[in-house]
Amino acid sequence: MIAGALLVAPADISRTSARHQRTYEFGTMPQDVLPFPSIVVASHNDPYMPFAKIQILAHAWGSRLHDLGHVGHINIQSGFGRWSNGYLLASGVGHQLH
**pLDDT tens, 51-86?**
999 999 999 999 999 999 999 888 888 888 888 888
On whether residue 17 sits in a domain, the answer given is no
Range of the domain at 57: 38-98
- Statement: residue 29 has pLDDT above 90: no
On whether residue 23 sits in a domain, the answer given is no
On whether residue 16 sits in a domain, the answer given is no
On whether residue 56 sits in a domain, the answer given is yes
Dihedral angle sign, alpha carbons of residues 2, 15, 55, 57: negative
On whether residue 50 sits in a domain, the answer given is yes
| Cβ atoms of residues 96 and 7 within 8 Å | no
CA separation, residue 18 to residues 24, 46, 53, 77, 81 (Å): 10, 15, 16, 20, 27
Number of domains in the chain: 1
What span, in angstroms and rounded, lies between the C-alpha atoms of 18 and 32?
A: 24
